[in-house]
Amino acid sequence: MHSLASPVFDADNHYYEALDAFTRHLDPKVGPRVIQWVEVEGRKYHALGGHISRAVTNPTFNPISPAGALVDYFRGNPNGRPMHELMGTPEPIRPEYRDREARLRVMDTQGLSKIWLFPTLGMLYEEALHQDPGAVVLLFRAFNRWLAEDWGMAYQNRIFAAPYISLADVNEAVVELEWALDQGARAVVMRAAAPTTATGPYSPANEVFDPFWATVNEAGITVVVHAGDAGLSSNGYAADGFSASFKGGRVTPNIKMFAIERAAHDFLATLILEKLFDRFPNVRIASVENGSEFLAPLFRKLTGSARKMPGYFPEDPIMTFRRHVWINPFWEDDVNEIVDLMGDDRVIFGSDWPHIEGLPEPTDWVTELQKLDADAVSRIMGGNVTELNERMPLP
């Protein structure tokens, strides 16, 4: 095993939202339109736009399954155990899931120097309101004010929480981004989806969103495209909705299981196909918790597109991709393959802690890097995201 002599920067940590994360700064008058707590058969859920969300079984997160509970499942479930057994016994929510001082203490024991910190529920809720872009704006404006209060954007220069940005209203997205910059944010986060605006859905690289990307370009802040509910249709092959289907305690395999990587593939491909980086050459994108197995077929498609349409791309689109995009593979992916495709300067470590799909101990991920030299390991485990964490404003 490589020793981790250099600082470790985990590019994918999460909090479990406080009970008032979405409502503390929300005008109660708009609660029915935006978000409210409701009780159904003794269990609390959020209602978004008047519709109950069951995307998470227990959105209070108390109790909650232990961090990394499904590690054996994602290692291929060698013992064939039902998922409900693998989930472990739910436990009372731990202070470090909601308190930044407690989180710092745990980071010390985990050997983490710094972390990027992302939403849990926050990555799921834009889809539930996407038909009401104004409600989306209200929801995440309130949410980000809570985030600034409870976590801060650069707490102790170790915990870097990313405000959530929706492109549902481009003018409001610019306002929110400028607020985030004033708060000292080092990265902002969005879902991998075509935003739905008041006039319908558009590609994230559509010129209608150029005012947002122009602000990103000027400020040099990293935009993280993180796994969430992208609203992808299963086209009748499986039931839609974020929650998995269970039969007898087992997840039923279906096409929905590939939705996260499908969403990332389409989002990132579109940025290249619609030449976002030609218009805004200072934009940096980090793909986090979207996996990486889509990368090889995506590169083949980009190569084919360039061959079929000579002169459309000013350079090899794969070179453009590698210059502007960083990839966080799932820990169970073949990291060596992704390093071969991207280079070790474009791969970043992220543990997904404390989610059940992540690793119980974040730095266990280094065991996936045994074929790489020490310098490459150092870059992947911290150096690359350290560079992404610094703004690179235009001169």
pLDDT at 243 over 70: no
* Pairing verdict, β 285-288 and 222-226: parallel
Higher pLDDT, 214 or 1: 214
Instruction: Assess if residue 1 is contained within a domain.
Output: no
For residue 371, tell me if it sits in a domain: yes
**Is 2 part of a structural domain of the chain?**
no
pLDDT digits (tens, 9 = 90+) for 264-288: 999 999 999 999 999 999 999 999 9
pLDDT tens readout for residues 308-346? 999 999 999 999 999 999 999 998 999 999 999 999 999
Residue 254 has pLDDT above 70, yes or no: yes
d(CA 323, CA 331): 23
Q: Which residue matches tokens 């169970």?
A: 332
Per-residue pLDDT at 7 exceeds 90: yes
Q: Please state, in angstroms and rounded to a whole number, the distance separating the CA atoms of residues 192 and 77.
A: 28
Find out whether the peptide bond into 63 is cis, omega within 30 degrees of 0: yes
pLDDT tens digits for range 27-73: 999 999 999 999 999 999 999 999 999 999 999 999 999 999 999 88
C-alpha 119/C-alpha 355 separation (Å) is: 11
Token pair for 112? 């983490």
Q: What is the mean pLDDT of the chain?
A: 94
Using one digit for the tens of pLDDT, what is the confidence trace for 144-167? Answer: 999 999 999 999 999 999 999 999
Question: Is 4 part of any domain?
Answer: no
The answer to the question of residue 3 being in a domain is no
Structural domains counted in the chain = 1
* Mean pLDDT, rounded, for 90-115: 97
303: pLDDT strictly greater than 60: yes
Report percent pLDDT > 90 for the chain: 87
251 in a structural domain? yes
- Residue 247 CB: number of other CB atoms within 10 A? 7
Specify the CATH number for the domain of residue 72. 3.20.20.140
pLDDT tens, 103-140?
999 999 999 999 999 999 999 999 999 999 999 999 99
> Which residue do the tokens 């050459």 mark?
281
The pLDDT of residue 5: 80
Query: Does some domain include residue 393?
Result: no
What does the pLDDT read at residue 251? 62
Residue ranges making up the domain that contains 51: 9-388
